[in-house]
Structure 1
Amino acid sequence: MHIGNMLEETLTKEGYSVSRAYSGTEALLVLSGAKPDLILLDLMLPGLTGEDILPKIKGIPVIVVSAKADVENKVDLLLGGAVDYVTKPFHIKELLARIAVQLRDTTAVPAASVLTFDAIILDTDTHVAAVGQKEVKLTRTEYAILKLLMQNPSQVITKSQLLDRINEDTPDCTESSLKTHISHLRGKIRQISHKDYIEAVWGIGFKMKES
């Protein structure tokens, strides 16, 4: 049985609603009219490849399924926006578990309305940020960046992830201006706390800095 047919049959039996595209161009057409909860992306698609499509997918977790097993390729795709990478051949139970984890991460836990990291407090209902008892005046873009970093305090957020995930709130933020926004944000927090709370991870992205 073709792997695509097997996956479609198995996922349907597991209770998932499955939409299938047979080429890169068709995949983009499907995505233009629907937003699935998760995408399984094969790199070896006719027409546009999986590598071509990945940067065009916004706000949807993508698990890459590929026979390409070299580490550099995996790293590039994970840093480029994929949430996971499964190498063919794979055991279907493992893939089902990885799918369940991603769907659990996106649907199970409601977001906290007040985020804290050391002395930083961020109220996501009122959009007020404070260091200790002193409010920090942030722009809309600075607030969106800080919120995303504080929601994932132990995780390095890549530049592409930052841009993708804050794009709805701050469409004015571009790759060229991102560094400037983060520099201003770090400066405002440092002015009050006298500490650097945002760490640049060279060549990858940014994360909250442990004391």
Structure 2
Amino acid sequence: MNHILIIDDDVHINDMLDNILTQAGYKVYHAYSGTEALLFLSNCKPDLILLDLMLPGLSGEEVLSQIVNIPVIVMSAKADVKDKVALLLNGAADYITKPFEIDELLARIIVQLRDTSKCNPVHTLNYADITLYLDTHEVQITNRNVKLTKTEFAILKLLMENPKQILTKTVILDRISEDTPDCMESSLRVHVSNLRKKLREVTGKDYIEAVWGIGFKMAES
């Protein structure tokens, strides 16, 4: 399921889009000001953003300048070609003029998400509701960022690459040695324990299980 953030201070538009996008199978989030949007993005990374320009506090243009690696469709009543060109050159993926037809907006969303998936076909690992970003070394659970150390990230990556296998301590240490040469057998259990705790804090679920006397594996979902 793709996640879409709507940044618009108009409650009516938010409610209308929420209803339509939810029916279309998207998970929808809302921010009603530029400041609220940046706060949301500091913790979560949606798949696409719908951005209004006339926002309280920070303007849509200011918010756009701080968004990286997320396609943004600007929704605005500004119809001047110069405005559209400036926004597209400054990071917007697309521009739709208010008022707009819902079918057109849905089509533009599909195109942007399709293009994003083509550009990044194997840059993530997924297990249950965990998403691991190989390029940025980010980890998210239900769209919430989980801050991991380099060693914790390497362990989780290895386990997610082999979700049905029990990996022994020796295998884990050998496989992650290139990324984290300072991890020793004596500290591995501590790293795994900290990793399990950080993941559990988000949803209360246990995502990694210890197999007594052998090693670790991803928990059965």
TM-score, length of structure 1 as denominator length = 0.51
**1:61 aligned partner, one-letter code:** P
Name the CA distance, whole Å, in 1 between partners of 2:58 and 2:119: 35
Give the aligned partner of residue 53 of structure 1.
63
By how many angstroms is 1:8 displaced? 1.1
Q: Runs (4+) of structure 1 moved beyond 2 Å?
A: 108-112
> Structure 1 residue 3: deviation in Å?
1.4
**Percent identity among equivalent residues?**
67
TM-fit CA distance, 1:5: 1.0
CA gap 1:16/1:70 in 2 versus in 1, 3 angstroms: same
1:2 deviates by 1.3
The within-5 A match list for 1:110-149 is none
C-alpha deviation, 1:107, in angstroms: 1.1
**Which residue of structure 2 lines up, in the alignment, with residue 15 of structure 1?**
25
Shift in alpha-carbon separation, 1:65–1:106, aligned structure 2, 3 A:
same
Alignment of 1:57-96 (within 5 A): 57-96=67-106
Q: How far is 1:109 from its partner?
A: 6.4
**Aligned mate of 1:107, from 117, 120, 138:** 117
Aligned ranges 1:136-175 → 2 under 5 Å: none
* Gapped regions of structure 2 (runs ≥ 5): 1-10, 123-221
Comparing 2-11 and 71-80, the one that deviates more: 2-11
Q: 1:89 to 1:109 in 2, by over 3 A?
A: same
Q: Counterpart in 1 of 2:39?
A: 29
SS at structure 2 position matched to 1:12: helix
The structure-2 alpha-carbon separation of the partners of 1:10 and 1:79, relative to structure 1 and needing over 3 Å to count, comes to same
1:41-84 Cα deviation digits (max 9, x unpaired): 00011111101110100010100000111111100000000010
How far, CA to CA, are the matches of 1:109 and 1:58 in structure 2? Answer: 15
Structure 1, unaligned runs of 5 or more: 113-211
- Structure 2 CA distance for partners of 1:49 and 1:107, relative to 1, 3 Å: same
What amino acid maps onto 1:94 in structure 2?
E
How far apart in 2 are the matches of 1:53 and 1:81?
Answer: 11
Looking at CA atoms only, which structure, 1 or 2, has the larger radius of gyration?
2
Output the aligned Cα RMSD. 1.7
Give the C-alpha shift of residue 40 in structure 1.
0.4
Letter in 2 for 1:105: D
Change (3 A) 1:13 1:75: same
The structural deviation recorded for 1:9 is 1.0
The count of residues paired between Structure 1 and Structure 2 equals: 112
For residues 81-133 of structure 1, what are the alpha-carbon distances to aligned partners after superposition, in whole Å with 9 as ceiling and x for unaligned? Answer: 00100000100000000000000111146669xxxxxxxxxxxxxxxxxxxxx
Specify the SS of the correspondent of 1:56.
coil
1:7 CA drift (Å): 0.6
Distance (whole Å) between structure 2 residues aligned to residue 49 and residue 17 of structure 1: 25
Query: What CA deviation, in whole Å up to 9, does each residue of 1:21-54 have, x standing for no partner?
Result: 0100000000000011100000011111101110
